C-alpha cells in the first residue's frame, strides 16, 4: 500500500522516513568527522562535497515529506493515547522537519556564499542565489552546527518515544512505521 491508511503508514511514508533517518545520521557523523580534517588530509575536499550532495538529497526528501504530509493524513492516533501525547508527537514531527529544512538552507548559504553553486554529486549544481559576508557565513555556520545538535537531540527523543510505545506501552506506534509488518 503506497498511501497511508487510518491505522498505519504506507510504503511511501515509510521509505521517506527511514531513508531520511539514515541520511540524517550519516550527515551528522560525516559533519562531525569532516570538521576535524586538516588541509593535508586526503578527504579534506571529498568529505564536504559528499556532505553537500547528501544534504541536497535529504532536503529533496524533506520537501517531499512535507508535501506528502500536507496532502496525506497521518494514521489515526492509537486508541487510549492521551491528547497531550498526540499533540507533543505532532509538534516533534514538525520540529524535526523544520530543523531539516533549516539545516539544508544554512548549509546551502555557507556552500554558495562565494557565488559558486552547491554541487550534487557533480551531476548538477544548485545555483548560488545570494553572496554572504564572512560574518554572515559564520552565523549560518553556527546555526547549522547548533541546529544539527538540536536535531540529533530530537531524533533521540523521537526514537526513545517510539521504543517507549513499543516496549512499555506495548502499542502499535512503532509497528505502524515498520515495513513488512502488519499492525493488527
Could you tell me the pLDDT band of residue 114, with boundaries at 50, 70 and 90? confident
Handedness of CA 53, 55, 61, 64 (dihedral sign): negative
- pTM for the whole structure: 0.93
Q: So what's the pLDDT on residue 131?
A: 87
Q: Decide if 157 is inside a domain.
A: yes
Domain at 86, CATH number: 1.20.950.20
- The answer to whether position 53 is within a domain reads yes
Domain-embedded: residue 2 = no
pLDDT at 149 (0 to 100) = 98
> Within 10 Å of residue 46's Cβ, how many Cβ atoms?
12
Q: Please report, rounded to a whole number, the percentage of residues in the chain having pLDDT higher than 70.
A: 98
Residue 4 lies in a domain: no
Is 159 within the bounds of a domain? yes
Question: In the chain, how many domains are there?
Answer: 1
Flag whether 57 is in a domain: yes
Whether the pLDDT of residue 130 is over 70: the answer is yes
Residue with cell 502488519: 182
Torsional sign, CA 169, 20, 154, 82: negative
Q: Which domain holds residue 64?
A: 11-177
Alpha carbon distance 130, 116 (integer Å): 10
How confident is the model at residue 183, as a pLDDT?
53
Most confidently modeled range among 2-6, 103-107, 111-115 = 103-107
Residue 21 corresponds to which cell in the numbers above?
Answer: 533517518
Q: Which residue has the cell 522516513?
A: 17
Three-point CA angle 43, 46, 52, nearest 5°: 135
Torsion of CA 24, 27, 29, 30, to 10 degrees: 170
Amino acid at each position: 500500500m503506497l498511501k497511508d491508511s487510518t491505522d498505519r503508514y504506507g510504503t511511501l511514508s515509510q521509505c521517506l522516513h527511514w531513508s531520511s533517518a539514515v541520511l540524517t545520521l550519516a550527515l551528522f557523523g560525516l559533519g562531525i568527522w569532516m570538521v576535524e580534517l586538516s588541509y593535508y588530509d586526503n578527504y579534506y575536499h571529498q568529505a564536504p562535497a559528499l556532505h553537500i550532495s547528501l544534504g541536497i538529497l535529504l532536503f529533496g526528501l524533506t520537501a517531499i515529506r512535507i508535501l506528502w504530509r500536507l496532502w496525506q493524513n497521518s494514521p489515526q492516533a492509537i486508541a487510549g493515547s492521551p491528547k497531550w501525547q498526540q499533540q507533543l508527537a505532532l509538534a516533534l514531527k514538525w520540529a524535526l522537519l523544520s530543523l531539516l529544512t533549516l539545516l539544508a538552507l544554512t548549509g546551502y548559504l555557507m556552500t554558495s556564499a562565494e557565488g559558486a553553486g552547491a554541487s550534487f554529486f557533480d551531476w548538477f549544481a544548485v545555483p548560488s542565489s545570494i553572496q554572504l559576508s564572512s560574518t554572515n557565513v559564520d552565523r549560518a555556520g553556527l546555526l547549522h552546527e547548533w541546529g544539527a545538535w538540536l536535531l540529533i537531540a530530537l531524533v533521540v527523543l523521537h526514537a526513545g518515544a517510539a521504543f517507549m510505545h513499543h516496549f512499555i506501552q506495548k502499542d502499535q506506534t512503532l509497528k505502524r512505521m515498520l515495513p513488512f509488518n502488519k499492525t493488527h
